[in-house]
Amino acid sequence: MKRLKNILFGVLMIMIALPLLQRTVPVFDETPLKGSYSVPENPVATLAKVLDGSYQEAFNNYFEHTIGFRPLLVRINNQVAFSVFDTALANGVIIGKNNYLYEINYIKAFKGWDFVGSDVIKEHASKSLAVYNKLKQSGKTLIFVFAPGKASFFPEYIPDEYLNRPSGPATNYEEFKREFARNSLPVVDFNEWFVKMKDTATYPLYPQCGIHWSAYGAALATDSLIRYIERDQKIDMVDFGWNGFETPDTLRNPDYDIAEGMNLLWKIPHYKMAYPKVFFGDELNKIRPNALVVADSYYWNIFGKGYSSRIFADNNFWYYNAEAHNPAWPSPQKTADLDLQQELNKADVIIIMATEANLYRFPYGFINRAYELLADENIIMNQSKIKADAEARKEAEIEKIMNSIDSNSEWKEKVLQKAREKKITYQEMLRLDAEWVYTNKNN
């Protein structure tokens, strides 16, 4: 009996010592955790910090994040939460029926819990019509695109606790669709189209464990946008299509993006996805228009795969109208630093796109800025444009503050705590805190 106790005690000591050994002299290779997180810096001890206890707290936080085998221990903890308690220990992730994964913002949008109000959307539609008419007079194409949303596409897998709760007065999607139709604005509605062909599509349009449309869905969308632009601009663009599909056993990025952020020990079982073998035709005698696309992360499936570089000449992607990307640039730029008049003059095609989860901030302030710029017939600088530029600079500063908070582990933990108390998402609370900091700083 005593020998057994000694063995158990020895095993326990080894288990305690191994993480400390791994932290000091790494013996085993560790796979880093996925997702957005930050490792706190080793704090510097000062007499004042030691006496008030802040150094001890900061060091404890640093030690916890740098202990040996932490990624493995986190994955074990997350796997137990997922497998035993049907819970995702990842911010904003909801586990649906049959292990279909969602982000909470998509369910909010589907249920109308993020509805911004009819008056706000009517104003957006009115200004959008004015901008559309001005650009049309200059021979430019402006398209509003509703990307599909996973909650609208797979409502049957949303957990009953969310599905059975009362819905909001309306959804942003329904109201935008109604107002844009009333103003005869050009809309490409992939949300409606995807739902209609859900049961007849050759291959899956959405992955089980990802939040974005599939590679097949993105290819279909690209083909549709090309056809629309060709009709409106009366041009013949570079041919785009695919000749067959690959259906590997493993998923390709980003079809497993939600599950990756959950940091589990084992992969969640999922169905196969199809990846089209895309081709582009000869550019000889073809037109490659200049494009300015203002969109959310759904456009990365088109921009990141290089599709847009082949079909557009000047290929600009304004991510949330905050960060501008162009393959010809060495690094992204802030949209607030760009001359909108010059950018609109260059563009032949302007696309503004959002999935349902981001319609509460659609069209990302871009239409407001363009409306003020184009309000004068001669497109001259006026007080309205100055105000719009100030708003853009304010938004850029708030984004900077949000990044600062998110990279500070102590501050981030406080924001997470407040989010739990207010029963809102971390991103919503992060935005509120950043706005508060901005207001107080500028006052």
SS3 label, residue 304:
coil
Average pLDDT value for residue range 157-163: 96
Q: What is the signed CA dihedral for 228, 232, 237, 239, rounded to 10 degrees?
A: 30
Q: Which two tokens stand for residue 45?
A: 């001890």
> In this predicted structure, what is the pLDDT of residue 203?
96
Task: Provide mean pLDDT across the span 386-412.
Answer: 81
How much is the pLDDT for 40? 59
pLDDT for the residue numbered 103: 96
Print burial letters for 57-76: b (CB count within 10 Å at least 16), e (below 16). ebbebbeeeeebbbebebbe
CA dist list (Å): 354 to 33, 173, 176, 272, 294: 29, 10, 11, 26, 9
- Write out the E strands in 105-222: 141-146, 187-189
Which range has the top average pLDDT, 10-14, 47-51, 295-299? 295-299
Q: Does 383 have pLDDT greater than 50?
A: no
Q: Find, among 122, 123, 153, 204, the residue nearest to 355 by Cα.
A: 153
**Model confidence over 239-291: pLDDT tens digits?**
999 999 999 999 999 999 999 999 898 999 999 999 999 999 999 999 999 99
The pLDDT tens digits of the residues spanning 74-84 come to: 788 888 999 89
Q: How far apart are CA 299 and CA 125, in angstroms?
A: 22
The more confident residue out of 24 and 430 is 430
Entry field: residues in the chain: 443
Q: What pLDDT does residue 147 have?
A: 97
Residue bearing the bigger pLDDT, 44 or 219: 219
The identity of residue 422, as a single letter, is: K
Best CA proximity match to 400, nearest among 296, 323, 329, 298: 323
Least confident of 193-202, 282-291, 314-323, 427-436: 427-436
* Contacts (Cβ under 8 Å, ≥6 apart) of 410: 40, 58, 61
CA distance 262 to 270: 15
Cα–Cα distances in angstroms (integers) from residue 230 to residues 134, 153, 184, 221, in the given order:
20, 29, 20, 14
pLDDT confidence of residue 411 = 87
Per-residue pLDDT at 65: 56
Domain boundaries, the chain: 2-84, 93-375, 382-443
Q: Write the pLDDT tens digit of every residue in 304-347.
A: 999 999 999 999 999 999 999 999 999 999 999 999 999 999 99
- The mean pLDDT value for 3-24 works out to 54
